[in-house]
A and B are shown apart, each in its own frame.
Chain A
Amino acid sequence: MVVAQNTRTNNPVGKSVARNDVLEKVTGGATYTDDIQFGPGLLHCRVKRSPHPHALIKKIDYSKALKLPGVKGVATGDDFPDLIGLYLKDRCFFARGKVRFVGEAVVGVVATTEEIAEAAVDLIDVEYELLTPVLDPEFGASPEAPLIHPDLGNYDHPNFIFPVANSNISNHFKIRKGDIEAAWTQCAAIVEHTFRIPHVQHVPIEPHVAVAKCEDNGQVTLWASTQSPFAQRALLAKALHIPESDFRVIAPLIGGGFGCKAGVTMEAIPVAMAMKYKGQPIKFRLTREEEFYTNFVRQGLVIKIKVGCDKEGNLLALQNRMYWDGGAYTEYGVNVTRAGGYSSTGPYDIPNVATDSICVYTNHPVGGAYRGFGMAELHTGVDQAMDMLAAKIGLDPVEFHKKNCVQGGDVLATGMVIHDVGIKECIEKVAQALDWEIKDKPSAPNKLRGKGVALAWKAPAMPPNAGSSALVKMNSDGTVTVSVGGQEIGQGTFTAMAQIAAEALGVPYENVKVSGPIDTRYSPYEWQTVASRLTWSMGNAVRNAALDARKKVLDVVAEAWGEDAKDLDIKDGYVISYKTEESVSIKDIVVYGLPKPNDGGWIGGPIVGAGSFMPSYVTGLDAETGQGNRAVVHYTTGAQGVEIEVDKETGRIEVLRAACAFDVGKAINPDMVRQQMEGGFIQGLSSALFEGCQLVDGVMRNPSFVDYRIATAADVPAEIDTFIIEHAQDDGPFGARGIGEHPLVPSIAAVAAALYDATGLRITNPPFSAEKVYLALLEAGLVE
């Protein structure tokens, strides 16, 4: 299944070549941010945090802290008054004037050791005047709620975000398509239900860590575990009023991100400290407890769905009102809300749609990007509602999904016409793998058994003009160095990029190296490593750069040989002529050039190919109706199904087997696609069975691995079937589109559907913990 490393793999696209980033990961040689040695001059930072969800800061007294030996200094909100934020600029480096969530940074301390910095934090006194917190998004959106950001009307934001001044609504995305009121009268069955999806945490095994240093001349370097080195450079340089070229971000390998290392999060703090205390590097790393309660969360969602179909089961209308619990700052969350809005139908063809996707400030942790970017939360509501509607109209769920899923040419709720998608084949594959028609008996008398299926779609959520660039440098040993600005976050992007470059150039995969770590001083620009966009967008840039290098090589050889470049090709690292059957190894020409005929001088020289990519066709959407020509670049679609048993004595759900199928356009590396499907499904399953931030009065009550459980090796089904469907993406490299996030999108809804099939119960507020399931069984009289 994996090609051995000592081979020459030509035309590697579509082959499961060995990854190029993993050897050092199994020997301990891979360098993550915390592994970089900074020597004895390294200083350490710790933070005094707010214990209150909503309060005015009346007084900060750090005089005792400054007297502690080893303490270098402190910083507060008053030192850095500028607002930052990826989409909506609503956040300061440290709290200014008031705190808006438990865990918000109030004072930063720099000291010679972490222990001294922590001791100094304990010596800081902050006086607060408590304010009434907003702890529910639906209430937060109402006029009765206290205002969390009275200045919302003045905050800077792009024109596709719609904040409502003098409210807690930081974005209100709407769709109005067709005539929804008339449509209800034609429905033979209608389902109306409210679903509540809790906040969950990303839980990368590597906690956030960043080191910042400001030189005396004002140049700043940030070493960070980050998905967004270029976005961090742009946002932080602007907030600090320094040129972008004076702000350098070095981004080593990441030990898992899943969205929480996108944008700017805790990195702002060591940068701020470094600006104030110049000349020495300052390290800040989050404890696991801080990782849980102070960082970006997947925001909670209250989703109210009304959906109806005719008597044949054809969907006619959907009303979808979503209240996103955006937390204290919604700089990034406003775009999760937008994505939830324009994708609010799920992958279903529905002629009449009314959507309100509302991002609400609350005094909860800050919502950010999380693998799926709103889609897992959305589908947890929409797909369960579809399963309910199928049951109500008397259709098998698989039949219902196949009848209603989107197909190429359909006009989506935003007015966009969707491209060719293979979602119907995905449904069929999943149903087949689970022997959908066969109802298996439970394995024991105390067990109930059932199957469920759910669909997924997701588009890259990003600004319309998010771009990528790449360089392909040819070396005199015949190897090729590819420079990119996208991050290797575990998904295997460096491998996929090497495959794409090798394929486009005509050299073996093993001869292509991808240069890391990403360094904004030397790496070409990349917007962010998010949105499942790298294979497609950065892949296009790499392909273009490789084609540019290829053209330069062929032009040189054509001139030297007196041939037409059209008769030349590069195969296995050799330039060959179809006309004369001459050949030459590229290593002999890509640096030193070629002699002209008759000793008439030289041509060529070192060859570097450059390429970039930016979608040019995404249009704006009308603020009142959500209508526009093209809302997004494309959708990756798929289906997932599970077979489960429920233990009546404990309420525990055991997943016996699972099947995942996604249309990835073209699998650049099929085995890596399967790895994404398996890993993503298990992350989704973990959120279905175990995960949720227990927020009580704004305080997270379970900020540890003991109390916030994630799936272990003992929890996962051994049998996970994966299927790759390939309906080519018209503007993807070799037809590819992304798959990184999608596999966890349908997991909660699939488990919920199987739980219904097994027990007849609808539990609509995940996680489906053993306790919750048992109590539901008890209440329904299924156990005594």
Chain B
Amino acid sequence: MSFHRITIRINGNLEQVDVPGNLTLLQMLRDKLGLTGTKNGCASGECGACTVILNGDAVNSCMVVAAECDGAEITTIEGLASSGDLDMVQKMILEEGGVQCGFCTPGILMSARALLNRNPHPTEFDIRDAISGNLCRCTGYNRIVTAISRAAEAESAAVK
């Protein structure tokens, strides 16, 4: 097994990690870096529980080879709140009651954050589309959609 030394910026911090060639980004986050907020729901890119933001895009970290992340910038759920303040999508999903068992929540929040970063004024369709790869079995989704919509409104109001 060949190992690769990669340098990544993760949640704002530079890290150097030695990873075997077959390790996924999800395995690296959970097993090498102890960032267990990112969840493993299927390990085959189908449920979205392992979503992180990689160079600005929401990706299923179970489908990314860690060795190919050299030089990448990665944000995980642990890095979403900054200096103790919850991100707007975190605040709004709490206010709207969009969290039950919480297992899909990290992935949904990362998909939502990536959406609002690239599209600050999403339509309801945009929101549903952006999280359609994040399966949730508890909530029925509507409160999550409302939370993301309200987060977008609050952020654009703050910009004005």
- Contact among A27, A203, A288, A491 with B80 in the assembled complex (CB-CB below 8 Å): A27
Q: B121 — which chain A residues lie within 8 A by C-beta?
A: none
Task: Tell which of B106, B129, B137 touches A683, judged by Cβ atoms closer than 8 Å.
Answer: B137
Q: How many residues of B contact A (CB 8 A)?
A: 54
The reply to whether the CB of B24 lies closer than 8 angstroms to some CB of chain A is: no
Interface majority SS (helix, strand, loop, mixed), chain A: loop
- A142 contacts partner chain B, Cβ-Cβ < 8 Å: no
Residues of chain B with a CB closer than 8 A to A203's CB: 135, 137
B102: contacting residue among A34, A253, A679, A718, CB under 8 A: A253
For B77, the chain A residues whose CB sits under 8 A away are 26-28
A782 within 8 A of B: no
**How long is the Cα–Cα vector from A739 to B97 in the complex, in angstroms?**
17
Tell whether, in the assembled complex, residue A675 and residue B95 are in contact, meaning their CB atoms are under 8 Å apart.
no
Residues of B within 8 A of A28 (CB): 35-38, 76-78, 80, 106
Q: Shortest beta-carbon distance, B36 to chain A, in Å?
A: 4
Q: Are A678 and B139 in contact (CB under 8 A)?
A: yes
Q: Which residue of B95, B105, B135, B138 is within 8 Å of A705 (Cβ)?
A: B135
Instruction: Identify which of B39, B46, B95, B101 gathers the most chain A CB atoms within 10 Å of its CB.
Output: B101
**Residue from B43, B94, B129 with most neighbouring chain A CB atoms (10 Å):** B94
Task: Scan B62-89; emit 1 where CB is below 8 A from any A CB, else 0.
Answer: 0000000000000011101100001000
Question: Judging by beta carbons under 8 Å apart, are A490 and B142 in contact?
Answer: no
Q: How far is the CB of A244 from chain B (nearest CB, A)?
A: 28
* Structural contact, A19 and B99, CB atoms closer than 8 A: yes
Q: How far is the CB of A27 from chain B (nearest CB, A)?
A: 6
Answer yes or no: A32 CB below 8 A from chain B CBs. yes
Is A679 a contact of B42 with CB atoms below 8 Å? Answer: no
Cβ of A506 < 8 Å from any Cβ of B?
A: no
Tell me, in angstroms, the Cα distance from A718 to B138 when the chains sit together. Answer: 16
Within A1-44, which residues are at the interface with B (CB < 8 Å)? 1-2, 18-19, 21-23, 25-32, 34-35, 37
Chain A, residue nearest B93 (CB): A26
Is B47 in the interface zone, CB < 8 Å from A? yes
Contact partner, B43, options A23, A287, A489, Cβ 8 Å: A287
Is A182's beta carbon under 8 Å from chain B?
Answer: no
Set of chain B residues within 8 Å of A490, measured between Cβ atoms: 100-102, 138
Interface size on A, residues (CB 8 A): 57
Q: Are A288 and B131 within 8 A (Cβ)?
A: no
Q: Let me know if B101 and A288 touch, CB within 8 A.
A: no
Q: Which residue of A lies closest to B148 (CB)?
A: A713
CB of A131 closer than 8 Å to a CB of B? no
Indicate if A381 sits at the interface (CB-CB under 8 A). no
Set of chain B residues within 8 Å of A705, measured between Cβ atoms: 42, 44, 46-47, 135
- Taking a contact as CB atoms under 8 Å apart, the answer to whether A678 and B100 are in contact is no
Query: Is A492 on the interface with B (CB-CB < 8 A)?
Result: yes
Q: Is B40 an interface residue (CB 8 A)?
A: yes
Question: B137 to A204, Cβ gap below 8 A?
Answer: yes
Partner of B140, one of A31, A205, A682, A704: A682
CB of B134 within 8 Å of the partner chain: yes
Among B78, B105, B133, B140, which residue has its beta carbon within 8 angstroms of that of A679?
A: B140
Query: Does A710 lie within 8 Å of B137, measured CB to CB?
Result: yes
A58 to B40, CA, bound (A): 37
Q: Is the CB of B46 within 8 A of A713?
A: no
A191 contacts chain B at the CB level, 8 A cutoff: no
Contacts A27-B81, A255-B39, A255-B101 given; indicate if A205 touches B49 (C-beta within 8 A): yes
Is A714 close to B, CB under 8 A?
A: yes
B137 and A205 contact, CB distance less than 8 A: yes
Q: Would you call A696 an interface residue if the criterion is a C-beta within 8 Å of the partner chain's C-beta atoms?
A: no
The CA of A23 and the CA of B84, in the complex, are separated in Å by 12
Please give, as numbers and ranges, the residues of chain B lying within 8 Å of A682 by CB-CB distance: 139-141
- Chain A residue nearest in CB terms to B101: A490
A-B contacts counted at CB < 8 A amount to 164
Min CB distance, A700 to chain B, in Å? 16
Q: Are A713 and B47 in contact (CB-based, < 8 A)?
A: no
In the complex the two chains form, what is the Cα distance from A525 to B104 in whole Å? 30
- Contacts of B81 on A, CB cut-off 8 Å? 27
Partner of A713, one of B37, B38, B43, B141: B141
- A19 to B78 alpha-carbon distance, docked (Å): 21
Q: Residues of A contacting B109 with CB < 8 Å?
A: 26
Name, among B124, B133, B136, the residue most crowded by chain A CB atoms within 10 Å (CB to CB). B136
A293-309 Cβ-contact flags toward B at 8 Å (1 or 0): 00000000000000000
A35 to B141, CA, bound (A): 25
Indicate which residue in B30, B86, B101, B134 contacts A256 across the interface (CB closer than 8 Å): B101
Partner of A204, one of B76, B95, B103, B131: B103
A706 at the interface (CB under 8 A from B): yes
| CB-defined contacts of B43 to chain A, threshold 8 Å | 287-288
| B63: min CB distance to chain A, Å | 13
Shortest Cβ gap from A248 to chain B (Å): 23
For the complex, give the distance between the alpha carbons of A683 and B140 in Å.
7
**Distance in Å: Cβ of B130 to nearest Cβ of chain A:** 9
Contacts of A710 in B (CB 8 A): 135, 137
Tell me whether A288 and B42 are in contact in the complex, defined as CB-CB below 8 angstroms, given that A32-B103, A710-B135, A714-B129 are known contacts: yes
User: Within residues 125 to 160 of chain B, which ones have a CB less than 8 A from any CB in chain A?
Assistant: 127-129, 131-145
Does B90 reach chain A (CB closer than 8 Å)? yes
**Max chain B Cβ within 10 angstroms of own Cβ: one of A25, A253, A712:** A25
Please, which residue of chain A has its CB at the minimum distance from the CB of B133?
A712
Q: Does A559 interact with chain B (Cβ within 8 Å)?
A: no
B27-53: CB near A (< 8 Å → 1, else 0) gives 000100011111111111011010000
Please state if A288 and B44 are interface contacts (CB–CB under 8 Å): yes
**Could you mark each residue 700-716 of chain A with 1 if its beta carbon is under 8 Å from any beta carbon of chain B, else 0?**
00001110001111101
- Are B101 and A206 in touch, CB under 8 angstroms? yes
* A671 proximity list for chain B (CB < 8 A): 97
A256-B138 contact given A26-B94, A30-B102, A34-B40, CB 8 Å threshold:
yes
Residue of A nearest to B139 (CB): A679
A121 is an interface residue with CB less than 8 A from chain B:
no
A509 within 8 A of B: no
- With most chain A CB atoms within 10 A of its CB, the pick from B43, B81, B103, B128 is B103
Q: Are A26 and B105 in contact (CB under 8 A)?
A: yes
- Is residue A720 contacting chain B, with contact meaning CB distance below 8 A? yes
Does the CB pair A205–B41 fall under 8 Å?
yes
Is the CB–CB distance between A675 and B137 below 8 Å? no
In the complex, the answer to whether B90 meets A26 with C-beta atoms within 8 Å is yes
The answer to whether A681 and B140 have CB atoms under 8 Å apart is yes
Tell me how far the C-beta of B1 lies from the nearest C-beta in chain A, rounded to whole angstroms: 10
CB-nearest residue of chain A relative to B34?
A37
Determine whether the beta carbon of B134 is less than 8 Å from that of A22.
Answer: no
Q: What residues of chain B lie closer than 8 Å to A288, measured between beta carbons?
A: 41-44, 46-47
Q: CB-CB < 8 A to B133: which residues of A?
A: 712
* Across-interface contacts of B78 in A (CB, < 8 A): 27-29
The residue in chain A whose Cβ has the minimal distance to the Cβ of B107 is: A205
Given known A19-B99, A710-B137, A720-B142, contact A25–B105 (CB-CB < 8 A): yes
Task: Kindly identify, within residues 8 to 32 of chain B, every residue whose CB is under 8 Å from any CB belonging to chain A.
Answer: 30
Asked if residues B103 and A678 are in contact (CB atoms below 8 Å), the reply is: no
CA distance A679 to B34 in the complex (A): 32
Residues from chain B with a CB closer than 8 A to the CB of A720 are: 140, 142
Q: How far is the CB of A293 from chain B (nearest CB, A)?
A: 14
Name the distance in Å between A751's Cβ and chain B's nearest Cβ. 15
Name 8 A/B residue pairs within 8 A (Cβ), A-sorted. Answer: A22-B99, A23-B94, A206-B39, A255-B39, A255-B101, A256-B103, A258-B137, A672-B97
Instruction: List the 5 closest pairs (A to B, CB-CB), nearest first.
Output: A28-B37, A255-B103, A490-B101, A25-B102, A682-B140
Binding site for A on B (CB under 8 A): 30, 34-44, 46-47, 49, 76-78, 80-81, 86, 90, 93-95, 97, 99-106, 109, 124, 127-129, 131-145
Given A1-B97, A35-B36, A287-B43, output 15 extra A-B contacts at Cβ < 8 Å.
Answer: A26-B102, A27-B77, A27-B80, A27-B86, A35-B30, A205-B135, A207-B41, A490-B138, A671-B97, A672-B97, A674-B97, A675-B139, A680-B140, A683-B140, A712-B133
